[in-house]
Amino acid sequence: MESLTPTFNFFPISTKPSCKPTPTFTKPNHNIYTKSTFTLPSPSASYQYSTVKPHSSSPDLIRSIGKNIFGFAAAATALVSVCCDSPAFAESLTVAFPVSRAREVNTVQKTLVEAWGLIRESFVDPTFNHQDWDLKLQQTMVEMFPLNSADVAYTKISGMLSSLGDPFTRIISPKEYQSFRIGSDGNLQGVGLFINVEPKTGHVVVLSCIDGSPAARAGIHEGDELVEINGERLDGLDSETAAGKLRGRAGTSVTVKVQSAKGFTSDSSIKEVNLPREYIKLSPISSTIIPHQTPDGRQTKTGYVKLSSFSQSAAVDMANAITELETEGVHSYILDLRNNPGGLVKAGLDVAQMWLDGDGTLVNTIDRDGNMLPINMQNGHAITHDPLVVLINEGSASASEILAGALHDNGRAILVGHKTFGKGKIQSVTELNDGSALFVTVAKYLSPALHDIDQVGIMPDVQCTADMLLNSPKDSFLKNNKSDASLEADTCIMVAEHELDIQESRGSAS
Q: To 5 degrees, how large is the angle CA 319–CA 320–CA 323?
A: 85
- The crossing angle, in degrees rounded to 10, of helices 399-409 and 345-352 is 20
The answer to whether residues 80 and 92 touch, using CB atoms and an 8 Å cutoff, is: no
- The crossing angle, in degrees rounded to 10, of helices 314-327 and 345-352 is 20
Decide: helix, strand or coil at residue 225.
strand
**254: β partners:** 275
Q: How far apart are the first and last CA of the chain?
A: 82
Q: Which of 239, 309, 398, 436 is catalytic?
A: 398
Decide: helix, strand or coil at residue 185.
helix
**187: β partners:** 281
What is the Cα–Cα distance from 85 to 71, expressed in whole angstroms? 28
The answer to whether residues 186 and 282 touch, using CB atoms and an 8 Å cutoff, is: yes
SS (H, E, C) 318-376: HHHHHHHHHHCCCCEEEEECCCCCCECHHHHHHHHCCCCCECCEEEEEECCCCCEEEEE
CB atoms within 10 A of CB 388: 25
- Kindly give, in sequence order, each residue whose CB lies less than 8 Å from that of residue 139, ignoring residues fewer than 6 positions away: none
**274: β partners:** 255
**156 catalytically annotated:** no
C-alpha distances out from residue 250 to 49, 176, 242, 276, Å: 51, 16, 18, 8
Helix (H) or strand (E) holding 485: helix 485-489
Maximum Cα interatomic distance, the chain, rounded to a whole number of Å:
97
**358: β partners:** 380
**419 catalytically annotated:** no
Q: Which of 110, 156, 423, 474 is catalytic?
A: 423
CA dihedral 309, 311, 317, 318 (to 10 degrees): 50
Residues catalogued as catalytic? 398, 423
